[in-house]
């Protein structure tokens, strides 16, 4: 890398440049703006080189198989550090030392989280005819949680590690078998305590008359308690689903791994109701994934990669409905850019099934800390509706022409954790680019917090005027960002780290012919287009079209 002096409109500017070979020719690329004097430029160059060296020494992990080599996250704490630095996620109330299991989402994080929820709702509710969406309360009648079985059964065992003294969360069946999840030490069986995970609260400010209730540990129950009214209001016909996105709270014994196990989180859940024994009328999307059945687990076999439809044919997955929902949930992740090699489906062995479930498949993800549950798809049959019927004394049955009154079955309950999905998208997207020497967040444009950044090359009035006009126009439709501070290289790097798919540069030529350059995040290649086409092009990029292909269409590609 070397310093280049440029004379622009009679003034000197210094830049950092590098030469590289492309198709047999030596080319020069400007990397960063260094300042207006050689002395400042030399100091800045040294600083930049030091920073780049530090970044380049970060550890590497390669995705297995034939995947291209990528430098990605190998430790979840590195992701937490990155998320804090870029304003995605902070420990809550950090000025007071934080609070275990609680996190706050910064500007980029809040945006990304909202985009995840929007994409989920679009895919599972809006784009379908058979699913509707509700929004239930966080605190509800305490009888709901008695009826659902949560008061009696929603428990984990806390056991203290003999070595590191930390409390561990284990399930009852693991007592005597599990080792400490923090240090691998022996767990003290004598210290085992069975604890309910629900947060309690008092309804009513007067102690004498207040009633004990709970913060909901899942959104699902509100779907069951509102079932009859939603069915009648919407005139629903089986099969159908009721969806809900909202907060859930669990007083976890050992919150850990950044956003993976927290005490406050959000769920995106669907209860999918069918006539008992009814078959799935829908086509099963073609998804290939690692399949890990109970039989494979018992026989200590490896998970086998196969199409979900094949797993159904071979009766590894018993019900067509389960195959259908597993495929659709995976398809949602694949559609948003995830690599299916990092996903597997694992069936719950009998002793692992929740108190309400007759069969359950988890979709697991290859997290930096191992294969772990990303979401669960349980078959709840008529457990919930029949219990609520019994304990409320209300008839929750549907009247079906020719069949009479029936209580529908929940054949699948796809239950997503928003924060776990957030982690997956970040892990899939995060990449340290050796050539650029900065992190590039290759998030799907639908998910990215900022859709485009508007960057005047220099802060001169003519450039700024046009840039601000573009910004004012675009912000009416997209979440865009205006940045005129620092070298263009640094500004590109900042946007790469936020995942911004398009950077719009306003340069000398803009002043002459009302065109701007658009820089593609993934390739760094640039196209030049007319300002009047910006809205359309950005809209199409967000919908999934390639910026470079669009550039070829407008045929004004920059050499
Ligand atoms: N209604 C079914 C139900 O709640 P679950 O397996 O207990 O099932 C569903 O939870 C999903 O909620 C999990 O797969 C996970 O994505 C998310 N989740 C559960 N506990 C969590 C926690 N402590 N922190 C973050 N996400 C959690």
Report the pLDDT value the prediction gives residue 358, as an integer from 0 to 100.
84
Minimum CA distance residue for ligand 1 atom 2: 415
Minimum CA distance residue for ligand 1 atom 4: 218
Q: Which of 259, 265, 367 to mutate to test the pocket of ligand 1 (most atoms within 8 A of CB)?
A: 265
Residues in the chain: 559
Helix (H, G, I), strand (E, B) or coil at 466: helix
For residue 212, the CA-to-ligand 1 centroid distance in Å is 24
For residue 109, the CA-to-ligand 1 centroid distance in Å is 20
Quick one: which H or E segment has residue 349? none
Report the pLDDT value the prediction gives residue 279, as an integer from 0 to 100.
97
What span, in angstroms and rounded, lies between the C-alpha atoms of 13 and 5? 6
**Which residue ranges of the chain lie beneath pLDDT 70?**
19-27, 53-70, 555-559
Is the CB of residue 266 below 6 angstroms from any atom belonging to ligand 1? no
What span, in angstroms and rounded, lies between the C-alpha atoms of 102 and 91? 7
Structure token digits, residue 424: 């997956």
Report the pLDDT value the prediction gives residue 558, as an integer from 0 to 100.
46
For residue 97, the CA-to-ligand 1 centroid distance in Å is 26
Measure CA 203 to chain center: 34
Report the pLDDT value the prediction gives residue 33, as an integer from 0 to 100.
80
Question: How far from 499 is each of 7, 426, 466, CA to CA, in Å?
Answer: 33, 10, 24
Report the pLDDT value the prediction gives residue 65, as an integer from 0 to 100.
40
The answer to whether the beta carbons of residues 482 and 472 sit under 8 Å apart is no
The answer to whether the beta carbons of residues 513 and 492 sit under 8 Å apart is no
- The answer to whether the Cα torsion of 383, 198, 218, 201 is positive or negative is positive
**pLDDT tens digits for range 269-307:** 999 999 999 999 999 999 999 999 999 999 999 999 999
Helix (H, G, I), strand (E, B) or coil at 534: helix
Q: At what angle do helices 534-542 and 547-554 cross, to 10 degrees?
A: 150
Helix (H, G, I), strand (E, B) or coil at 288: strand
Q: Which DSSP category does 139 fall into?
A: B
Cβ contacts of 463 within 8 Å, gap of 6 or more: 456, 457, 506, 507, 510, 511
Global pTM? 0.87
Report the pLDDT value the prediction gives residue 66, as an integer from 0 to 100.
41
Q: What is the DSSP string of 22-38?
A: ETTEEEEEEEEEEESSH
């Amino acid at each position: 890398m070397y310093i280049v002096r440029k004379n622009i409109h009679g003034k000197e500017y210094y830049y950092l440049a590098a030469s590289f070979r492309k198709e047999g020719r030596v080319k020069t690329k400007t990397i960063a703006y260094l300042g207006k004097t050689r002395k400042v430029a030399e100091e800045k160059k040294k600083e930049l080189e030091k920073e780049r060296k530090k970044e380049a020494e970060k550890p590497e992990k390669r995705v297995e198989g034939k995947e291209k080599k990528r430098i990605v996250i190998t430790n979840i704490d590195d992701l937490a550090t990155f998320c804090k630095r870029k304003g995605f996620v902070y420990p809550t109330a950090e000025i007071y030392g934080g609070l275990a299991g609680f996190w706050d989402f910064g500007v980029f994080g809040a945006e990304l989280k909202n985009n995840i929820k929007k994409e989920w709702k679009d895919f599972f509710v809006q784009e379908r005819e058979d699913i509707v969406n509700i929004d239930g309360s966080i605190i509800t009648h305490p009888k709901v949680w008695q009826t659902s079985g949560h008061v009696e059964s929603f428990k984990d065992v806390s056991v203290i590690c003999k070595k590191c003294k930390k409390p561990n969360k284990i399930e009852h069946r693991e007592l005597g078998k599990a080792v400490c999840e923090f240090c691998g030490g022996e767990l003290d069986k004598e210290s085992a305590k069975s604890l309910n995970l629900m947060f309690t609260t008092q309804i009513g400010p007067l102690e004498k008359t207040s009633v004990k209730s709970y913060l909901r540990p899942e959104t699902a129950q509100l779907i069951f308690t509102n079932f009859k009214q939603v069915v009648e209001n919407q005139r629903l016909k089986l099969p159908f689903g009721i969806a809900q996105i909202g907060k859930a709270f669990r007083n976890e014994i050992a919150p850990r791994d950044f956003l993976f196990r927290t005490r406050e989180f959000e769920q995106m859940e669907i209860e999918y109701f069918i006539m008992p024994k009814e078959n799935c009328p829908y086509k099963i999307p073609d998804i290939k994934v690692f399949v890990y059945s109970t039989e494979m687990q018992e026989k200590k076999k490896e998970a086998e990669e196969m199409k979900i439809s094949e797993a159904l044919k071979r009766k590894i997955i018993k019900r067509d409905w389960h195959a259908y929902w597993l495929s659709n949930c995976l398809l949602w992740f694949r559609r948003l850019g995830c690599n299916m090699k990092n996903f597997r489906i694992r069936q719950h062995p009998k002793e692992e099934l929740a108190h309400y479930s007759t069969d359950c498949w988890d979709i697991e993800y290859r997290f930096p800390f191992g294969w772990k549950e990303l979401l669960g798809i349980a078959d709840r049959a008529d457990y919930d509706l029949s219990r609520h019927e019994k304990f409320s004394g209300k008839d929750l049955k549907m009247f079906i022409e020719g069949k009479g009154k029936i209580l529908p079955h929940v054949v699948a309950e796809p239950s997503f954790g928003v924060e776990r999905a957030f982690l997956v998208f970040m892990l899939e997207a995060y990449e340290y680019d050796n050539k650029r020497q900065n992190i590039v967040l290759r998030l799907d444009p639908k998910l990215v917090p900022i859709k485009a950044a508007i960057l005047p090359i220099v802060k001169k009035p003519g450039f700024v005027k046009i840039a601000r006009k573009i910004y004012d126009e675009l912000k009416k439709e997209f979440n865009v960002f205006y940045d005129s501070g620092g070298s263009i290289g640094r500004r590109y790097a900042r946007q790469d780290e936020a995942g911004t798919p398009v950077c719009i540069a306003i340069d000398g030529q803009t002043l002459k012919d009302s065109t701007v350059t658009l820089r593609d995040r993934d390739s760094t290649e640039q196209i030049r287009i007319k300002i009047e086409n910006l809205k359309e092009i950005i809209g199409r990029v967000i919908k999934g079209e390639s910026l470079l292909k669009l550039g070829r269409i407008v045929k004004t590609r920059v050499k």
